[in-house]
Amino acid sequence: MAILKIARMGHPVLRKPAEPVENPTSPEVRALVKDMIATMIDANGAGLAAPQIHESKRVVIFQAPASRMTPGVDEDEAYDHQAELTVLINPEIEVLGPETEEGWEGCLSVPGMRGLVPRYTHIRYRGVGLDGEPIERVARGFHARVVQHECDHLDGILYPQRMADLSKLIFETEAVHWVAPARGEDEER
C-alpha cells in the first residue's frame, strides 16, 4: 500500500476518458484500489478516481459520511447514510429525476478551492466491486453528489467545468464570506 501523488488540474491524465477495466478481480486492480484508499485517507478526501493518481482506469472509491460535510456550506443538502466506503469499477450513472441542486464542492486535484456546482439530486449507479459482483444503489443528496463528482473524473471532467457561474469558484479560506451572508450574519474579516 502506497500513498501516491495526486494529479492536479491541468495534467493530461485528468482531461481524457479513462479506459475500462477488463478484469476487476485481478491482483493489479486490487493493488491499485489499496493505493487509492491509502491516498484518499492521507489527503482527507471523500472520494478518489484512478485518473487522479495517474492511472487511466475506470475505478472510483468514495465515502459520504456526515463528518465530511462543511458546516454552514453543506448542511442544507440531504445526507444519505448508505454511502460507506465503496469501490466501484466501470461505473455507470442513471439520472432518476430532472431535479438539480447546487452545492459546494472541493477536489483533491483542485486543492484549496471550492465551487458551487449543480448536480442531479437523485441517481442510480451501477458497477462491479473488487470481487467482480455487481453493485447497484440509488443515491440522493451528498451521496449522489460524490458519486457524480468521482465518475466525472473518468470522463475527463473536473467540477469547474460543471459550474454555471465561475464567480462562485473561491478559495476555501474565503468561504466565510459566502457562508455568513447566507445565514444573515455579518461577514467575518
Per-residue burial over 71-102, b if 16 or more Cβ lie within 10 Å, else e, is ebbbeebebbeebeebbbbbbebeeeeeeebe
Complete DSSP assignment for 61-77: EE---GGGSPTTTTTTS
pLDDT of residue 66: 56
Q: What is the mean pLDDT of residues 170-187?
A: 75
**Domain residue spans in the chain?**
12-182
Report the predicted TM-score, pTM, of the whole model to 2 decimal places.
0.87
pLDDT in tens, 145-178: 999 999 999 999 999 999 999 999 999 999 888 7
pLDDT at 80 over 50: no
Give the pLDDT score at 110. Answer: 98
How many residues does this entry show for the chain?
Answer: 189
Hey, which residues are catalytic here?
150
Class of domain 12-182: alpha beta
Checking if the pLDDT of 81 tops 90, the result is no
Dig out the grid coordinates for 79 from the structure: 445526507
Q: Does residue 72 have a pLDDT over 70?
A: no
